[in-house]
Amino acid sequence: MLLGYVGADPEVRYPEPDRPVAFLSLATNDYNAKTGTEITEWHRLVMGGDNARLAEKYIRKGSRIFVEGKLKSREFEDKFKIRRRVTEIIVERVELLGRSEH
């Protein structure tokens, strides 16, 4: 479960007709009491089906959302032939909470 702000407009792809997949970044904040600073963590979200349609229509940069999902890690080779590992959140449930006041 994560609660945060969307970092950029969703990127929506249609790998198959009528089967959208949305990719977006989510910023969550945590307060470090020892240093008195706020720490921002960035998460990569992947949404499919109805959640992707909702993202395409309503979610924009600055939107505040709550998501539930599961972690999935995968490896890939970048354009420089370097093996990379990324962990994504496969969103099972999303709730729109409003826009950023920033």
Cβ–Cβ under 8 Å, residues 71 and 65: no
> For the residues of 57-73, what is the DSSP string, one character each?
HH--TTEEEEEEEEEEE
Average pLDDT, stretch 77-93? 95
Tokens standing for residue 90:
């496969």
Total domains, the chain: 1
Average pLDDT, stretch 28-38? 90
DSSP state of 9: -
Short-list 25, 23, 22, 21, CA closest to 4: 25
pTM of the predicted model as reported, rounded to 2 decimal places: 0.84
Short-list 19, 20, 39, CA closest to 30: 39
CA atoms within 13 A on the CB side of 56: 15
Q: Which residues of 70-99 are buried (b: 16+ CB within 10 A; e: fewer)?
A: eeeeeeeeeeeeeeeeeebbebeebeeeee
- Which residues constitute the domain of residue 87? 2-99
CATH no. for residue 94?
2.40.50.140
The pLDDT tens digits for 6-25 are 999 999 999 998 899 999 99
